[in-house]
Amino acid sequence: MACSLILCRLLRTIMSKASQQIDDTPAPIIESVLHPTDFSEGSRVAFHHALKAALLAKSRLTLVHVSPEVTTQWNDFPGVRETLERWGLLPKGSPKSAVGQLGIEVRKVVAEEADPVEAVLRYLKRHPADLIVLATHQREGRARWLGKSVAEPVARRAAQMTLFIPGDSPGFVSEDNGSVSLSRVLIPIANSPRPQPAIEAAARVVKRMNCPDGTFTLLHVGQASTMPAVRCPEVPGWSWKKELRNGDVIQSIVDAAGESDLIVMATDGRNGFLDGLRGSHSERVLRICDAPLLTIPVGSFAADNLG
């Protein structure tokens, strides 16, 4: 099973690179999107981002809810068809089969377990995902879900590309019509971890979401001489700028984030994202910033295929 998965991903990578030589539009590297939900308002916002990602990649979308009780009903989950109808992608009253005609496959899973972290990780072990979309609730200085820390350990131990949507953030995908509002992307960079995958990921996001214009800001906290040399992909309508700051790294990122629509960060996958070290840069940014955060762990499938 594991060998088959690796072979499929290798073939997908080869085909992706071949297609890019013919077409400037980046081929999707996302085959499966996982969205753990606790049915909260924050999770509903995250669901819209997960659905949008699945539509663009024409991938599988899995919604997972963990509860020790058996009272969860299917209609407790966000309505996929209803959302697609509201976005104008399906006619009103469409049958379930119409969803598949858009190129996506949707699964809804209820895990009747007490520990949401272990339940989600067990599911991921059986059904790997290329992108995890999580809502985080800022409470008591920590990102929390279902009353206990879930977003952090799931992202850490899954070690895959993860999009975090803060509970108070509307995100960049419209609930009403599915449109994308993304024009300011912040990419903090340092010599370690290698920043190129984060840069490539940011460029792919705006290309796939057809964002017409905007600015990528490469932020380095330090001296000009220590800023890493990077390659900035050409994105029509978008410009790249570099910004240097001095002082505390986290505060500098928070200050620079300002009105950013998205922060994209490479993370050190060798130790796992949010590996328990209280000084973890990504963790502290996640706690403080209100903007959505996309993390690209070193060693993840996305990082290995993004420069």
Q: What is the tens place of the pLDDT at every residue in 216-273? A: 999 999 999 999 999 999 999 999 999 999 998 889 999 999 889 999 998 875 444 3
- Please report the pLDDT score of residue 298 as a whole number: 75
Higher-scoring residue by pLDDT: 225, 67: 225
State the pLDDT confidence band at 150, using cuts at 50, 70 and 90.
low
Higher-scoring residue by pLDDT: 82, 19: 82
State the pLDDT confidence band at 140, using cuts at 50, 70 and 90.
very low
For 231, residues 6+ apart whose C-beta sits below 8 A from its C-beta are 196, 199, 307
**Predicted confidence (pLDDT) per residue in 96-130, tens digit:** 999 999 999 999 988 877 777 788 888 888 888 89
Q: CATH for 29-166?
A: 3.40.50.620
Residue 31 has pLDDT above 60, yes or no: yes
Enter the pTM of the model.
Answer: 0.82
> Does CATH place domain 184-304 in 2.40.50.100?
no
* Residues facing residue 164 across a β-bridge: 134, 293
Same CATH topology for 29-166 and 184-304? Answer: yes
Domain boundaries, the chain: 29-166, 184-304
**Predicted confidence (pLDDT) per residue in 269-298, tens digit:** 544 433 443 445 766 787 788 899 998 887
d(CA 179, CA 193): 32
Give the pLDDT mean for 2-10: 46
State the pLDDT confidence band at 167, using cuts at 50, 70 and 90.
confident
- Please report the pLDDT score of residue 149 as a whole number: 58
Give the pLDDT mean for 130-145: 64
For 232, residues 6+ apart whose C-beta sits below 8 A from its C-beta are 199, 216, 218, 240
Helix, strand, coil shares, percent, the chain, to 5: 35, 25, 40
d(CA 289, CA 129): 26
- Please report the pLDDT score of residue 277 as a whole number: 38
State the pLDDT confidence band at 305, using cuts at 50, 70 and 90.
low
Structure tokens at 60: 């599988």
For residue 262, count other CB atoms closer than 10 A to its CB: 22
Give the pLDDT mean for 168-196: 94
